[in-house]
Structures are given as C-alpha cells and as structure tokens.
A and B are shown apart, each in its own frame.
Chain A
C-alpha cells in the first residue's frame, strides 16, 4: 500500500467537508460536514503512525475523537437553543452580532 493513497483519501474527504461547511445553511448539516473533516484528519494521523511505526498518531486520533464528541454535544445544544428561540436553524439568519 502506498502512503499517498491514504493521504489522498483524507484530502478528498477534507475537501468534501469544506464544501459542505461553505454550502450548507442548516446548522446540523454544517456539524456533519465538520465531522467529515475531523475523520479525514484521523485517517492522515493513522497513516503517518503506520509509516513511522509510532504510537503517537494513535494517541492523537483518540484525542481528536474525544474532542469531536464534545464539540458535537455542545454544538447540538446550541442548535437546540437557537431553534427554541427562533424556530429556525438557518445560519444565514443569525446576524444579530453583525456590525
């Protein structure tokens, strides 16, 4: 197996996630796109862990998974709060803090 094939898969997933963050208006779908990005990073970390024969990449990947779980929890709580206050989770309408 080539090193580059895993890195390329990670790059493709990362770019799809970036597209989703830019294109989506629904807040839940933006959070899903962020999950895609974090997973692509994990694939890269584990590919380098295998390449270098080191356990550091595994540790980082586990930490990334834990941070992603916390992020989804807080993110969805915020989305619920916004929905309760506004009956809408379109991100383009949250412009109170716009200067």
Chain B
C-alpha cells in the first residue's frame, strides 16, 4: 500500500516537473529577450536535476546543479552581457525562415513518439531499483571508462586554452 502511494506521488511529481520543464523550454526558444531566455533555461535545468533525482541518480543531479546552474548559466549571462549593447526586448532574434522549424520539430517528435510507443508501450520501470552509489560510478569512471576520462580531460584542457586564445585581446 505504501509502495503504491509512493508511486502515485512519484508520478504526480514527474507530471508537474515535466509540465514546468516543457513550458520553460518553449519560452527559451520563443522569448524575445536573451536574458529571459537564460533565466527560463535555469528553470529547465533545475527541472532536469529534479528528474534525475526521480530516476535515482543523485550524484548526476548534484553535478547538474553545480556545473549547469552554477557555471554554464554564469557563462551565458556573461556572454549576453558582453555581446549586447542593451538589455531588453529585441525583435530580431529569429531567422526569416523560422517557421520551417515547426514542421521539422513536429515530424521529428512524431517519429520518436511512435518509436517509443511501439518499443516501450506500457513497460514499468523497476519499482525497487538497484541503488547506484557514488563508489560504483567512480569504479566505472576510473575502471572501464578510464580512456574516455583521459580524453575528456584533454578536451577540457583544449577548451580552456582555446577559450583563452579566442577571447584574448591581442
């Protein structure tokens, strides 16, 4: 009985967070103010972190909050600040052919929805999932996936040096 009530609560939580995320994501791609778009993106990223918690991935959720909401959003706001003369509504943010995006996104979603529906129809997630702790994730990163981890550290190093070289005034 308790398990069923917990599942109902999880489903309600999922629905509320998903609805907020979808509305915020639509605002990100339709708003006419770059700063507002960045702030709506914060809502989407926080909702994604909440969904990660629902999916029993606490460590990834904490990383999401630290990296995305902490660092990436600050970068976006700085980028907005440094590339725009004025902060406010701007009419000229969309391409002239922006309407083309609606059928493309709609068709893509229809294809993916059909594929998901036919493959996973009403398959339930395990109600008592195996909890994956941080030790297991670190065993993966420093064990089976060590080579991608090294590659990733080189990617980050190259990105840091590249960003400095690109943004430097010379």
Contact = CB atoms under 8 A, between A and B. Distances in A.
Interface of A: 1-9, 11-29, 31-33, 35-36, 39, 42-43, 46-47, 49-51, 53-59, 61-63, 65-74, 76-81, 83, 89-92
A29 B38 CA distance: 8
A28 B10 contact: no
Contacts of A89: 83
B111 to A, nearest CB: 9
Given A61-B60, A81-B167, A22 B51 contact: no
Most buried by A among B22, B25, B92: B25
B126 A59 contact: no
Most buried by A among B60, B99, B160: B60
Interface of B: 7, 10-11, 14, 18, 21-22, 25-26, 28-29, 34, 37-38, 41, 44-45, 48, 51-52, 54-57, 59-60, 63-64, 67-68, 71-72, 75-76, 78-80, 82-83, 90, 92-96, 98-102, 104-106, 108-109, 112-113, 116-117, 120-126, 129-130, 132, 136-137, 139-141, 145, 148-149, 152, 155-156, 158-160, 162-164, 166-167
A62 B141 contact: yes
A33 B76 CA distance: 12
B114 to A, nearest CB: 10
A63 B152 contact: yes
Given A33-B28, A79-B79, A24 B63 contact: no
Contacts of A74: 159, 162-163, 166
A78 to B, nearest CB: 6
